[in-house]
Amino acid sequence: MTQSTPIIEVSNLNKTYQKQTVLEDISFAVSSGSVLAIIGPNGAGKSTLVKILLGLETPTHGTVLIDGQKPQVARERIGYVPQRFTFDRTVPITVHEFLMLAACEEKEHTRTSMVDRALQEVGLPNIADHQLGALSGGQFQRVMIARAILHHKDILILDEPATGIDVAAEKTIYDFIRKLNEERGVTVLLISHELDIVFSFATQVICLNKRLVCHGVPKQVITKDVLQEMYGHLAGAYHHHCDK
């Protein structure tokens, strides 16, 4: 796959819930192998857009194609790290067992080595026997990333992956995601409120506020006017990131 081939195509996407418009006329394409950041204020429709890309929600109008297929068909090609994982922490399940649920097709010893390798890659080599419910927020988030990369995925969608992670672990995570993108050609979609990360990490950005406010290279399209349109009177907090 080349850099210019669109792996995700969104056309005229609309989503309404009980007459409330959540997404309005969204169109964009994501090139294979690129890193796309999605930014926008709370309630801008970012999570709804991700759910539609994953096939968990259906659009009211418009189409979404993942490499020419509907998301429901292509869903196994996507690794996903949610912002919050609604899990009953009192249920006794080990990290190893949790990851083994996702590593389904191969033989037992292959699955175990897949799990060990994934934990190694996210910097948690010794927690396979720990209970999932006893992990810290940061460890939990890295286990979710480990699960997302157990199998080779063409697309990785991360919904604020650094939530609850300390600075050192955050760097490890982003370095690892960058490596996945550069070495394995994984297309990355990243929802983030941190413009530093967006500028340093993303090749493309879409600014969302129910409709598409901007789309392009971050340094070119994220301007004070765009931030003003998205965040209103709170935009000042982000202005130091913009030259224009």
Partner 1 sequence: MFDFLALPFMQRALLAGIITAVLVGWVGVYVVSRRMSFIGEGIANASLTGVALALLAGWAPLPVAILVSLLTAAAIFIIERRTVIASDAAVGILCTSGLALGVILLRFFQGYQPELVSFLFGNILSIKISDLVVTEVFGVIVFLLLAFFTRQLTFMTIDPEGGYLHGLSRWGYDLLLYSVTAVTVVLSIKLLGVILVSALLVIPSSISKLFSSSFRSFRRNGILLSVVIVVFGLFLSYWLNLPSGATIVLFGATLFALASAAHLFIRNQ
The Cα–Cα gap between 111 and 147 comes to 12
Query: Which amino acid is residue 46, in one-letter code?
Result: K
Quick note: the x/- pattern for partner 1 over 169-198, rule CB under 8 A, is ------------------------------
Quick note: the x/- pattern for partner 1 over 97-136, rule CB under 8 A, is xx--xx-x--------------------------x-----
Q: Which SS3 state, helix, strand or coil, does residue 126 take? A: coil
Give the residue among 175, 145, 178 at the shortest CA–CA distance from 160.
145
Q: Examine residue 83 and tell whether it contacts partner 1 (CB under 8 A).
A: no
| Identity of the residue, 68 or 85, whose beta carbon is nearer to partner 1 in the bound complex | 85
DSSP code for 112: H
232, with CB counted inside 10 A (0-12, 13-18, 19+), is exposed
Q: Examine residue 93 and tell whether it contacts partner 1 (CB under 8 A).
A: yes
Q: Examine residue 17 and tell whether it contacts partner 1 (CB under 8 A).
A: no
Q: Examine residue 140 and tell whether it contacts partner 1 (CB under 8 A).
A: no
Q: What DSSP string describes 30-53?
A: EETT-EEEEE--TTSSHHHHHHHH
Number of residues that bind partner 1 (CB under 8 A): 23
- Residues of this chain that interact with partner 1 (CB under 8 A) are 54-56, 75-76, 78, 80, 82, 85, 87-88, 90-94, 97-98, 101-102, 104, 131, 147
